[in-house]
Chain A
Amino acid sequence: MAKKVRPRRKNPVFNDFGRRKLLRKSIPTVEIGASLACLAFLVVAGGWTLSQRDNYDPGERDLDIALLDTEPKQLYTRPLARWRDPSQPIAETRLDIAPFPDELVEGGWAPASRVQTFTNDNLYEKINGQAEQYVKFGFRELSFLILEEPSGESVDLFLYDQARFENALGLFAEQRGSKPLLTRGDLLYTPTGIGAIGMLGHHVFHLIGSGANDVVMSKTEQVLDSLSGLAEASPAPAPFKVLTQGLGLPLDRVHYTPINAFQLGFAQRFWFGRTTDEGTSRVFVHWAESDDAASTMFQKLHDAQQGELELVTPGESERHYRHAFLGTHYALGVAGPLVYGLEDHPDPDQAVTEVARLKEIVTTSELGVRPGVPSSPSVVPTPAPPAPVASQSDESEGDYGDYGEEEG
């Protein structure tokens, strides 16, 4: 540092950038070699870096248009709400009153509020005390609506979803008691002083008016009409139709036994119809899952009756028996998925005629034999006892009694 390349500034800011003297004396060849190796490494590193330019998948940075081609989601578009003078009353507000038919809000009748629904969890809030009865019959949901009329009259609509036709029928029978039974299409009902109660498919309904006057009653009629005109939301099961429509038995002679028919454990879901008002003679129909199941049921029933019954007319698909002690006539037949028969008929000749008629209905008419694809889940036979009924099975076996049976 003895010599200075440039005279130093007095108050320097920067380095004077003078060339620095190399003080070392020798530079070994190894060092040159190492330097060259370093330089070579740098060149390779630089080359490698630049060569990475295309080392990527452009597909990861964009989306293949084909992947967008999925089913487009549809959103509900709210319609344009037109300008309305706020000082005018709400004239045309239409509330959605499903599941009730829209035509109920006509002629000045309007819903007092939206439809309220109640399920098992909160049914007691609406009908505290009576809820038990509905729950026993497999209650699923209650839809409740009040219709009002400008004069102040109103009709309360209760629509109980009982899940299965049989449940509805049993519940309706229990509620109807001995009141007269009327039909309107598929609708069964009985009028009350201020409305009506009734059933349609697996629903039970109550119409309760605000008073016994013409306004209420005519509205009740209209409600019954529009309900009966509803599409076959839940048609009656085939055996029920065979008995009521085919044989023409009045409703109060028809009943349903979900389990333990004939005191036989395997005999489930049997429909019975008493052939006469008095006496114990009954026809019965059972709809099995399949043709094979029906044949099995047929054979099992045959085997189970061996003790008391004597075979009179053997046959592949129809057999007639006589009771060993009472001398009454019994019959058992199978046609497709349906098992039918007659029990305890006092007159053998008449019994044969009745069975023949039953067979005819079952095999030839539209009501019978080939119900084909079950039209509603409520009539699909299931191997296990139906869920809503099973739910209360632990209460007492006895309650399983014939739901359709009339006490008095």
Chain B
Amino acid sequence: MSNGDEPLLPLDAVKAAEARANPLRRLAGLLTSQRVRKLLRLTRVRIVSQAFFFSAFLFFCWATWTTRMEGYPVSRILEFDPLVMISTMLSTGYVYRYLGWGLLVIALTLLFGRVFCNWICPYGTLHQFIGWVFDIYKGKQSFERNRYRDLYHFKYGLLIVFLIMSWMGALQIGLLDPICLMYRSVATVFAPAADMALSEVQNAGVHAAWLDNLKFAPGVPRRVFVGSFWIGVLITALVGANVVIPRFFCRVLCPLGALLGAISRFSLFRINRDVHACTDCNLCLTRCEGAADPQGAVRVSECFSCMNCIDDCPEDALSFSMVGLDTKQVKPAPELGRRRLVFSGILGVLAYPFIKNHGTNTDENFKGALMRPPGSVEEHEFLEKCIKCDQCINACPTNVLQPATWEEGGLESLWTPVMNFDIAHCQLKCNACSEVCPTGAIKKITVEEKMGRGEFEEAGPIVLGTAFFDRGRCLPHAMEIPCVVCEEVCPTSPKAIQTEDVEVKDAFGKLVVLNKPYMVPDLCIGCGLCQAECPVKDERAVYVTAVGESRSRDRRLLLKDRSRES
């Protein structure tokens, strides 16, 4: 406001004087006053919008918890991600539940270009914010950094690779889709870190109830996420790259941005430069988020519609307006030559067999550790649907859901949810993960369906796996020491873990009654509570593996359920 005294509109003062007479006019006057106008310009509203969606995102992450969820649309930001919609539609042929919301963003893009990137996307907001905080560049340096570089076509190639893979049946967009990446990082890295910090405050002696309310996961033991270090490394590296190239991720890698960029070539509105007013001062580049060359032929597909250039133009030569896409004045399409297009296509086609024949989670070489949350569809179908957003992991109240590491299922399953019963168990009457899954990899189920009651009596309960005893490690079996925690906690009725009561003389000649546990596989639902509670803490004496899971016919264990025979 150093030179704010200089009125932008000459009639302003007169109008203001008139307005004072009438309250309605006063409001109108207020709206037309210089200060308010400055406040209400698009760049300011953009920040409000970004703050709104970023807080909505954080709120949704916070509300993704068993006691808070209620009816909040906690996965809605994923559900209006059009890349999720399009890629799952390619891989499965259908549009699940709320994924049609993606059309909203597509429609928005067709109207205003990539507004999603700079007005809505929480990851874009994070990048912009971090970029701004560490932006020390002034003068020429600052706008040289925002010139278009050839590197920025890379995202389109990546998008083509991802889309071809999806179409063939290997959905990998979740690795880099900004919304998935953001949800995943919050769920497995930032949420536990924040909870850790709040716990330290509590340890320091502050016991106020609101501290618990702030936590992402209140009232449970500390949550750990196997392999989340690498998720943290990835997001930190990507966000940190802002220091080198502003909005590195958005400009170079973001497949969603590429998709929206490809669509935005048809957009109604775009940044328009009045070449007669323009003095070629390049000031519009100072804060150009997308590196869209507003100083020359505007690259519509790169422009984030952040409106910064309009603010920065001393000649008012730039405007966001509904004008044609004359190729002499603008470059509407992404800069991706035919060669690169073909290369990406070849890569995409190659990537599919590479990934599929890696053979870590196919029926030919199925690993017992690859246990999916309740309601999950059959593994092949699961991999066509899971976008690795890890919302289920965030929702899980027991911490049993873990991002899969390379070991469980290779790249294809990387960061998809698996159950680790060494850490915790699957809560019997909980369907939180299925409620939040945006793509139906975990089909929405009710508790009734999970437990196989009521109208699901015929289908029986959802079975996640089958428990087995390692009798060489089990205290009563191997060492004549009473235990049976597993039987005590077994939640089915009747219990799937039964005991055989034997009186023996132990090594010290003492007569003890041992309740030696054994499995009734027909009743076991694979909830893992026995494994989680087994006192043999490292290699558990009772453990669950995926065989017998009800989502797959191929991995069935029992020919028939003896408990259902009359």
Contacts and interface: CB of A to CB of B under 8 A. Distances in A.
Q: Please determine if A and B sit in direct contact within the complex, based on CB atoms under 8 angstroms apart.
A: yes
Interface of A: 1, 3, 8, 12-16, 19, 21-27, 29, 31-32, 34-36, 38-39, 42, 45-46, 49, 52-56, 59-64, 67-68, 70, 72-75, 77-83
A77 B515 CA distance: 12
A61 B431 contact: yes
B520 A82 contact: no
A80 B504 CA distance: 11
B138 A29 contact: no
A78 B310 contact: no
B378 interface: no
Interface in B509-538: 511, 513, 520, 523
B311 A24 contact: yes
A8 B138 contact: yes
A15 B38 contact: no
A361 to B, nearest CB: 42
B133 A15 contact: yes
Which of A29, A31, A52 is most buried by chain B, counting CB atoms within 10 A of its CB?
A: A31
Contacts of A25: 8, 314, 316
Contacts of A75: 494, 498, 520
A80 B503 contact: yes
Nearest to B119: A38
B149 interface: no
A80 to B, nearest CB: 4
B447 A63 contact: yes
Nearest to B286: A1
A83 B71 contact: no
A70 to B, nearest CB: 8
A54 B69 CA distance: 10
Contacts of B430: 61
B425 to A, nearest CB: 18
B520 A67 contact: no
The 5 closest A-B pairs by CB, nearest first: A55-B71, A56-B71, A67-B453, A60-B446, A83-B503
Contacts of B69: 56
A61 B563 contact: no
Contact of B314 (A24, A36, A52, A70): A24
B458 interface: no
B253 to A, nearest CB: 24
A77 B430 CA distance: 30
B489 interface: no
Interface string B487-509: 00000011000101111110000
Given A3-B2, A67-B448, A38 B283 contact: no
Interface stretch (B41-49, B233-241, B349-357): B41-49
B132 interface: yes
B40 interface: yes
A54 B70 contact: yes
B313 A24 contact: yes
Given A61-B447, A64-B454, A49 B42 contact: no
B461 to A, nearest CB: 11
B32 interface: yes
Contacts of A12: 136
Contacts of A45: 52, 56
Contacts of B429: 61-63
A78 B499 CA distance: 8
Interface string B137-178: 011000000000000000000000000000000000000000
A19 B1 contact: yes
Given A23-B311, A24-B316, A35-B44, A29 B502 contact: no
B249 to A, nearest CB: 19
Nearest to B319: A28
B381 interface: no
A54 B71 contact: yes
A38 B2 CA distance: 28
A166 B403 CA distance: 69
B470 interface: no
B214 interface: no
Contacts of B563: 73
A113 B322 CA distance: 95
B283 A26 contact: no
A62 B447 contact: yes
Given A46-B56, A63-B448, A70-B457, 11 more contacts: A8-B138, A19-B1, A24-B310, A24-B312, A26-B9, A32-B40, A35-B44, A49-B59, A52-B73, A78-B500, A83-B511
Contacts of A52: 70-73
A63 B453 contact: yes
18 contacts: A3-B2, A14-B133, A16-B136, A23-B283, A24-B313, A24-B314, A24-B316, A26-B9, A32-B37, A35-B44, A38-B45, A39-B45, A55-B71, A56-B69, A61-B435, A63-B453, A70-B453, A73-B563
A53 B71 contact: yes
A140 B435 CA distance: 55
A21 to B, nearest CB: 6
A64 B48 CA distance: 45
Interface string B24-63: 0000000110000110111011001100100010010000
